Chains A and B, each alone.
Chain A
Amino acid sequence: MSPVVSDSGSLALIMAQLSFLAIGGINATLPEMQRQVVDVHHWMSAEQFASLYALAQAAPGPNMLVTTLVGWQVAGVAGAFAATIGICGPSCVLSYFVAAIWFRFRHATWRRVLQQALTPVTCGLVFAAAAFLAQATTHNVGTALVMLASTIVLLLTKVHPLVVLGVAAALGAGGLVS
């Protein structure tokens, strides 16, 4: 089997598993995605993974495009399709069928308990994703300051995130960060 085919197959399987595990959205799966593509398969470094995540954030469209970009990086267009279909496929099938019966359970007790139990798990996972990305993107005082300043600005002001990303990229290009 050619590497492109076998890598695309592995990508599709990894992403299909993450599709089921993505409780509260795709960000919850970032640590596991990084573990798979960096530590398990050695397709890229943690820094490259963080750069792809940043690129996907700066592009239009849903957050899950980081998956498409990872697929592209690993196995070109075939990889991009494999990763995208992998991450969307299982949850799409589930959504399609659950949507039809959802309203019957809207007020069921088990649904409320499940939601209350899943919300904190999602919070913990997204904090873990933040820790992984912070670790991969801060190599020195400059990048650490950019991370801190972005967090503060985004938390306390209504500045558009794209502006924050743009300023940070410009600071970097100007040689002020690293």
Chain B
Amino acid sequence: MPNESSHPVSPPTVGVPPTCLQLFSGFFGIGMCGFGGVLPWARRMVVDQRAWLSAAEFTDMLALCQFLPGPNIVNMTMALGSRFRGPAGALSAFLGLMTAPFIIIILLGMVYGRYAEVPAVRHAFAGLAAAASGLIITMAIKISAPLRGNWLGIGIAVLAFAAIAVARVPMLPTLLILVPLAILLVWKFEDRFRR
């Protein structure tokens, strides 16, 4: 169980605090193997392989990184890097995560740009893109599973979907209205609507 010793400014309860170079190399590995979401790989590296955090500490940190806006794994480079080595640690972890994928994606973009007009490549991309939308439909269904039976949550999700996908309202006004509304509804009615 997490306790006082899991406070972020105190040393971790397990393992030895990593150096900047170790933060770089650890996240470099995650950047190279992660695909379609890198968080499971992050857990393997941070908890199982290098023991920088205990499982409970990792879960806490993950909750934070998913709670904050922005790319979750990038948030984790900040939270984890700064915890051990301050700004230099955060930067090391960030650069470790991003360097290789950044270069690879640009190389892929160059290849795509060069051969996009070749019929076989264009057709391959038609198939690839259709499967990729299957991937995100799957993701939408999976992350919505916890809403089962929570009618208030389902109502909020349907509102968000309708605003963006049906009414085509831009995201900023949608969230400026919907987030306070959702908070208010959950605050007032959560007991009544939950299972």
Contacts and interface: CB of A to CB of B under 8 A. Distances in A.
A116 B135 contact: no
Contacts of A51: 112, 116, 125, 128-129
B31 to A, nearest CB: 5
B161 A62 contact: no
B73 interface: yes
Given A146-B134, A169-B124, A172-B128, A60 B104 contact: yes
A60 to B, nearest CB: 5
Interface in B101-154: 101-102, 104-106, 108-109, 112-113, 116, 120-121, 123-144, 146-147, 150, 152-154
Contact of A35 (B87, B134, B170, B179): B170
B105 A59 contact: yes
Interface in A141-178: 143-144, 146-151, 153-155, 161-162, 164-165, 167-175, 177-178
Interface of A is mostly: helix
B1 interface: no
Contact of B160 (A59, A91, A121, A132): A121
Given A53-B129, A137-B130, A63 B138 contact: no
Contacts, number: 371
Given A123-B140, A172-B124, A60 B132 contact: no
Nearest to B178: A121
Given A24-B143, A123-B147, A57 B123 contact: no
Contact of A124 (B112, B128, B161, B183): B161
Size range of the chain B interface in the assembly: 35 or more
A120 B157 contact: yes
B40 interface: no
A165 B69 contact: no
A103 B165 CA distance: 36
B110 to A, nearest CB: 8
A126 B132 contact: no
Contacts of A64: 71, 74
Interface of B: 2, 6-9, 31-38, 60-61, 64-75, 77-79, 82-83, 87, 90, 94, 97-98, 100-102, 104-106, 108-109, 112-113, 116, 120-121, 123-144, 146-147, 150, 152-165, 168, 170-172, 175, 178-179, 182-183, 185-187, 190
28 contacts: A31-B164, A47-B129, A54-B128, A57-B132, A58-B128, A61-B105, A65-B101, A69-B109, A88-B94, A88-B98, A96-B82, A98-B64, A99-B61, A100-B82, A117-B187, A119-B147, A120-B152, A124-B158, A125-B164, A126-B139, A129-B136, A146-B127, A150-B135, A153-B134, A169-B124, A172-B124, A173-B120, A178-B127
